[in-house]
Structure 1
Amino acid sequence: MNFDPILLAPRMAPMKAAGLWRDQTINTFMARALEDCPDKPAIVAYRQDAEAPERLSYRELDRRVERIARNLAALGVGHADVVTFQLPNSWEFIALALACARIGAVANPVMPIFRQHELNFMLNFGESKVFIVPKTFRGFDYEAMAREMLPGLPHLRRMVVLGGDGDDGFERVLMKDSAAPLSGPGLAPDDVLLLMYTSGTTGEPKAVMHTSNTLFSNLHAYIEIMQLGAQDVVLGASPMAHLTGYGYLAMIPLILNSTTVLLDVWDARRALQIARAESVTFSMASSAFVADMCLAVENGEPPSPTFTKFNCAGAPIPPVLIERAWRAMGLRISSAWGMTECGAVTVTEPARALEKSGVSDGRPLPGIELKVVDANGAELPVGETGALKIRGASLFGGYLKRPQLNATTGDGWFDTGDLAFIDAEGYLRINGRSKDLVIRGGENLPVMEIENLLYGHPAIMACAVVGYPDKRLGERACAFVSLKPGTHFSLEEMRAWFEERQVARQYCPERLEIVDALPATPSGKLQKFKLREIARQFAELEEMGRERQA
């Protein structure tokens, strides 16, 4: 793969001179662990279908990583080749990421929710050489899906099945010990380390390129603000195929030489049991995870006395949830805001969390600058809402093969596409989105792509998808549809249509409203704000009805 991270060169000298780019890779921290604490637990992996977790010391993790790296190299995977893995939270996920770094390959984790529609695009766009899937997960047959895709993946050299018992099985392909020792170059600090797809508004995902220097500059700053250390035990329950999981729940513990406790399927009661058993101290996920744990505690599950810090990102956190978590669990919720393109941009420090997390998204991390500008690009004063721009150490290297979409000025300012204001203390508050996204449980849903899928249905004349508030997930999606004369369309038919298209289940809107026509300006421009208001009113009426029934 010929990568083109054009946003790196202008920053190299100043970022290295400032000490923000430390020229370290994850291999640096693994080597330190093997020297300082080889027998310390690195990973404790809990699985839904197993009673006891699998425990790996740093020594054992390194042994497995070396074996996987050698076998990837034996498959012909080399420097700058892309390895795609669609795995739940597991030791294999982390080991694959480390093995890619060891041979200079590019890790490309993709979410388990994706299906053929998304994966065919991603694997072909990134020219993936190896694709690793679980045999089954949560009742879905990933092996069958991947095999069906193979004829349409010309760049792919090998499919590997975790839990598979055939010639493509993970143990047979990547864990055999007969491969030759490694000889090629490993990962350099300015090589592309991570390729991660992010939902956009253009109808197709964009491939974000990060190097060790861009990503780790953010992780070091985050460690400082959140006051994390080698003694911490991190709960990895949020999906590791997101930057939240990959960076803050997988890489940070390795940087600290601390311990990650993995949970493959979210269950709040089990998470609390694990937190008590493993002395978990910290985690990061969307607010839905916190709401679920609060409910579990209120229903009788004891909290963990060591589990005191949690960072919420992906959507604003209701102040009532912050107070509820503190009262029920002694859990201090810090707010954060960020993007796949730059990691966590702002974080509320734990000492101010109870005060500020409900009204702000935190202050910028070291190495990051913010500004809020008006329509003419002029910087706005404190408290005024405008377009949010950022620049700094953790900004990505650019979008793969699409430098024209980088949205970055000559002096390094990146247009986030979000609306925000900054208060008198320098805390950021996101209060609108110019991007047309619905954020459901911290997951960005690509509205244009969903609408395009709906437009393909023969009954639909016009459609629009908007978000509406939801107490648990932050937002859900509502599809407003006008129909062609003499046709019929229902929620059940919409679900069947999306299932037939083989797209992620989460892409299907939870609500359907049939309307005569979509609201528009005299010039014909769709007025989505009116649809959002209608959807919000529907949600409020439904909530009132549930409260009456309760």
Structure 2
Amino acid sequence: MNVISVFVQNVRRHPEKMALIYNEREYTYRGLNQRINQFANGLMKQGVRKGEKVALMMKNSDDFVISFYGAAKLGAVLVPINFRLVVSEVQYILQQSDAVTVICDDEFETLIEEATASIPGIRDVISVPAAKVTKHLSFKNIFHDSDMEPDVKVSSDDDFEILYTSGTTGRPKGALFDHQRISYISQGVTGLLGLHANETHLHVAPLFHSAQLNLFLLQGLYVGATHVILRDFEPQTVLKMIEKYRVTFFFGIPTMYSYLLQAPNADKYNLDSIKLCGYGAAPMAPEIVRQSMELFNTDQFYNLCGLTEGGPSGIALFPEDHKKHIGKSGRLPMLFVECKVESEGVESADGEVGELLLRGNPIMKEYYKKPDETAATIVDGWLHTGDLAVRDEEGYITLVDRSKDMIISGGENVYTVEVENVLYGHPKILEAGVIGTPDDKWGEVVTAVAVIKPGEGTLDLEELQTFCREKMAGFKIPRKLQLVEELPRNASGKLQKYKMREALKNTYNPHL
């Protein structure tokens, strides 16, 4: 059993059921499978073989789903790429993943052309819907006449996808998963939330993210649900689509819920089809959760607290838990997963801070081609998340900090060391530290604390952002800047970031 074979079973079970809706294009399960097969057979004709890596740099669309499943039917390994990354970041991922084919939206074609110029292993770039660069291929021309199932045997232990998540050194790491692990994710979400074939999912969070991709798109096609896909997030459109297609399940990052609450006449839409809502990828303020429950007229909200290396799996806060424990991360682990809070090899007592550890079937196989990092992260079967957490006397776990200094801004993971490395390249900066500071809209925003070199005058936020813009993705660029005379360090010279956070609670200047 693998991800693809279960989807094909659903095609046989209910071929005429609506599978996917994108703009004006609608696909039954039979029609979607035929289109996927035509693309898979076209990729095979282009030379894509089992085990080869196929990268996708695409926004949400029907073409993303067709590309993803088409490559998967050949036994290829999928490498979804964050479309907000800049050339150097994309180049590293393509090279490190051993990608041979890149499928991209035409708006990213120039970026991909530059990123692949020095990578001899890239055989083809396929642009959606049509190529503008002469040497690239047009997506619309890849489809084969045959819509028969490709003659490729895919096993449950065959590799399925590599999901990249930035490392504390600034170099991304690719979490590798096989079909079996992702099947466990689909089964786990199905059991955890009670999702089934009669659901209608709305997909608006980016499908390159493990949460929207693995937890909900793949799970929904695994059970045979209907999927409505939006290319971009626009609050009025989301509410309109929920009403029009009678959507039953919605997942969003906290920022999306905040914008939905602010949408004009949001309470005028008929949203009573919604049965369940999920949120995750960033902390969500209790008040936003409460207001969102009122908007959707349901208290069936799930806080899904996981990480990419987990598939994503982790812990969950159930609807009934929100009555007394809203704001906490969860009490029980997701299905097929164990969890514990540990400090220095010993399980932490209630009320004591430790690191959250996970173990179970969905956990990644390894970091692709990074054995040392894998060995340091998975120890005796336990995944060390780097998240600092505390468990109360009732067993509820709350994440209190991240030992890897990761910032989650608008659902995007930002690692501070990566940003600091860029800041140190600024000619005026002597020292720099980066932290996340609370923000009602984004959950957290990237905040730079800097010491200016003697004689260099001052530095304002606009100048810093201009410097950073060509060197990193937009969501990583600092949104706040605090200039100080010195940074707090311990005896070993390491930054004491908790002191930086404390100082910023009561210290503001025109740059903040």
Distance 1:108 1:538, change over 3 A: farther
Residue type matched to 1:31 in 2?
V
TM-score in terms of structure 1 length: 0.87
2:123 paired with 1:157: yes
Q: Matched residues in 2 for 1:73 and 1:305: separation?
A: 45
Pairing 1:283-294 to 2, within 5 Å after superposition: 283-294=250-261
User: How much does 1:355 deviate?
Assistant: 3.8
**Counterpart among 141, 151, 155 of residue 188 in structure 1:** 155
Pick from 411, 421, 427: which aligns with 1:442? Answer: 411
Cα distance in 2 for residues equivalent to 1:29 and 1:40: 16
Q: Which amino acid aligns with 1:125?
A: Q
For the residues of structure 2 that align with 1:436 and 1:60, how far apart are their CA atoms? 46
Q: How do 1:227-306 residues align onto structure 2 when only pairs under 5 Å count?
A: 227-296=194-263, 301-306=268-273
CA distance in 2, matches of 1:25, 1:523: 50
Shift in Å at residue 197 of structure 1? 0.2
| Cα separation, 2, equivalents of 1:206 and 1:443 | 15
| Pair 351,529 (structure 1): closer, same or farther in 2 beyond 3 Å | closer
Residue of structure 2 equivalent to 1:19: none
Q: Secondary structure at the match of 2:4?
A: helix
Residues 1:485 and 2:451 aligned together: no
Q: Does the CA contact (< 8 Å) of 1:89 and 1:263 recur in 2?
A: yes
Q: CA deviation at 1:461?
A: 1.3
Change (3 A) 1:180 1:58: closer
Per the TM alignment, residue 409 of structure 1 is displaced from its structure 2 partner at its CA by 5.4
- How far 1:436 moved relative to its partner? 1.3
For residue 12 of structure 2, the aligned residue among 30, 35, 38 is: 35
Q: Which residue of 2 aligns with 1:146?
A: 112
Which residue in 1 is equivalent to 2:464? 494
Partner of 1:13: none
Structure 1 residue aligned with 2:304: 336
Say whether residues 1:400 and 2:400 are aligned partners: no
Asked if structure 1 preserves the Cα contact closer than 8 Å seen for 2:356 and 2:389, the reply is yes
Instruction: Please say if residues 482 and 509 of structure 2, whose CA atoms lie closer than 8 Å, have aligned partners that are also in contact.
Output: no
Match of 1:389 in 2: 357
Larger relative contact order, structure 1 or 2 (CA cutoff 8 Å, min sep 6)? 1
Q: Which is worse superposed, 275-284 or 483-492?
A: 483-492
| RMSD between superposed Cα atoms in Å | 2.3
Alpha carbons 2:339, 2:356 under 8 Å: kept: yes
Judging changes above 3 Å, is the alpha-carbon distance between structure 1 residues 426 and 529 closer, same or farther for their aligned structure 2 residues? closer
In 1, the alpha carbon distance for the partners of 2:480 and 2:177 equals 36
Per-residue deviation, 1:151: 1.8
Rounded to whole Å, the distance in 1 between the matches of 2:201 and 2:140 is 31
Residues 301/265 of structure 1: CA separation in 2 closer, same or farther (3 Å cut) = farther
Cα separation, 2, equivalents of 1:370 and 1:484? 46
CA contact under 8 A between 1:316 and 1:361: conserved in structure 2? no
Give 1:538 deviation, angstroms.
Answer: 5.5
Distance 1:492 1:365 in 2: 43
SS at match of 2:478: coil
Amino acid in the other structure paired with 1:175: F
Q: Which residue of 1 aligns with 2:346?
A: 378
- Find the aligned partners of 2:139 and 2:145 in 1 and give their Cα distance: 10
Which residue is 1:513 aligned to?
A: 482
Kindly state the Cα deviation for residue 86 of structure 1 after the two structures are TM-superposed: 0.6
Q: In structure 2, what is the Cα distance between the partners aligned to 1:542 and 1:229?
A: 50
Q: 8 Å contact 1:26–1:254 — kept in the other structure?
A: no
What secondary structure, in the 3-state scheme, does the structure 2 residue paired with 1:482 have?
Answer: strand
Q: Structure 2 vs 1, CA of residues 246 and 449 (structure 1 numbering), >3 Å: closer, same or farther?
A: same
- For 2:286 and 2:265, the matched residues in 1 are separated by 18
Pair 472,62 (structure 1): closer, same or farther in 2 beyond 3 Å: same
Q: 1:356–1:362: 8 Å Cα contact kept in structure 2?
A: no
Greater shift, 346-355 or 409-418, is seen at 346-355
- From the superposition, tell whether residues 536 and 187 of structure 1 become closer, same or farther in structure 2 (CA, over 3 Å): farther
Q: Secondary structure at the match of 1:231?
A: coil
| Contact 2:482 2:511 (8 Å CA) reproduced | no
**Deviations for 1:187-227, whole angstroms, at most 9, x for unmatched residues?**
21111101110122121010000112112212211211111
Asked whether the 8 Å contact 1:87–1:112 carries over to 2, the reply is yes
User: After superposition, what is the alpha-carbon deviation per residue over 1:91-121, rounded to whole angstroms, capped at 9, x for unaligned?
Assistant: 1111122112211100111111112021010
Is there any run of 5+ residues in structure 2 with no aligned partner, and where? none
1:132/1:391 CA distance change after superposition, 3 Å: same
Query: Would you say the 8 A contact 1:191–1:211 is kept in 2?
Result: yes
How far, CA to CA, are the matches of 1:250 and 1:40 in structure 2?
A: 16
Give the match's secondary structure for 2:287: helix
TM-superposition CA deviations, 1:44-73 (whole Å, max 9, x none):
113xxxxxx321111111111111111211
In structure 1, the partner of 2:36 is 65
Show the 5 A alignment for 1:126-141. Answer: 126-136=97-107
The alpha carbon displacement at 1:380 in A equals 2.2
- State how many pairs are aligned: 506
Displacement of 1:396 after TM fit?
A: 0.6
TM-score normalised to structure 2 length: 0.93
Answering whether residue 436 of structure 2 is matched by residue 467 of structure 1, we say yes
Partner Cα distance (1:542, 1:280) in 2: 43
Within the alignment, does 1:220 sit opposite 2:190 as a pair?
no
Q: Find the residue that maps to 1:341 and give its secondary structure.
A: helix
Q: Which runs of 5+ in 1 are unaligned?
A: 1-23, 47-52, 137-141, 544-550
What SS does the corresponding residue of 1:202 show, helix, strand or coil?
Answer: coil
Contact 1:132 1:160 in 2 (8 A): yes
Q: Quick one: structure 1 residues 435 and 171, their matched pair in 2 at CA, closer, same or farther if it must change by over 3 Å?
A: closer
Q: Is the 8 A contact 1:478 1:535 kept in 2?
A: no
C-alpha contact (below 8 Å) 2:203/2:250 kept by paired residues: yes
- Is the 8 Å Cα contact of residues 294 and 329 (structure 1) preserved in structure 2? no
The CA distance in 1 between the partners of 2:349 and 2:145, in whole Å, is 62
Mapping for residues 59-208 of structure 1, pairs under 5 Å: 59-136=30-107, 142-166=108-132, 168-177=136-145, 182-183=150-151, 185-208=152-175
Deviation at 1:422, TM superposition (A): 2.7
Q: Distance in 2 between matches of 1:334 and 1:114?
A: 30
